[in-house]
Structure 1
Amino acid sequence: MRNFKRKQLTIAQQRCKIQQFFPSFRYFKKGYWIGTLRPTLSSPFYTIKIIYGKYNPKVFVIKPTIHKEAPHRYSDGSLCLYYPGDRSYHESLFIADTIIPWTAEWLYYYEKWLEDGIWWGPEAPHSYKLKKQ
């Protein structure tokens, strides 16, 4: 059985697909996109920033301001869109197929959380035990 490594997509590949499916997103040479998403017709337009570095993309909501107590965010304010341990996202996947739709889904569940205080979206365990070596 062959063990083959996943190949990271280039910025050009990512840009092309994002432009095709999410034309409101504009790429900036410093390695990020800014665009708008609207999860439902009754939702506001959210301005999103996606930073694409060497590892997993980081997603921030620029406006409107996300409630400071909103769940499923990292300490830097970026959105927790998936459980990294299950490798839902990796460098050979398109941001347009994964990160952007997951962001829209996160925004949908965020709006529901604002309405009734319950996060109805999928969740992964958040308590990790480190093994002693």
Structure 2
Amino acid sequence: MKTAKEAYLDFIKRLTHLISKNPQLINTTLSNIFTIRLIGNKTHGDLAEIAISEFINQYMDDFKSLHVGKDLFRAKEYEEDIRITNKIHNIDFAISLKAYGVGPLQLSTDKHFRMFPRLKTEECPISDPENYFRTF
């Protein structure tokens, strides 16, 4: 494994495996995130990012995660708010957790809000992460 793209794909594969084997872990985490959303739209985003970051730290031993939020990207030149390190290969990559309107909760997106509208144009879901990189 040499690239951030490979590290990201490995992360997604392993996250999917973890969730499929232990759905209660993500169900509890997401339930807490959506409960936080009821408190107020302005605060739930950062709290959700922190919750997912801590989920990664607690349940994915080969990865470490840090919520960098607006501290690192104050000018918001970059949209990513979570920095993940593959501890085995020492490769960093960034993800973002976003929900736009009634769209799905997304891992990774871009500043110009192109991902969700683009995915809506697909006739079938993109379920293979490798296809994501070909699509964009």
TM-score with structure 1 setting the length: 0.26
Larger radius of gyration: 1
TM normalised by structure 2 equals: 0.26
The structure with the greater share of residues assigned to helix is: 2
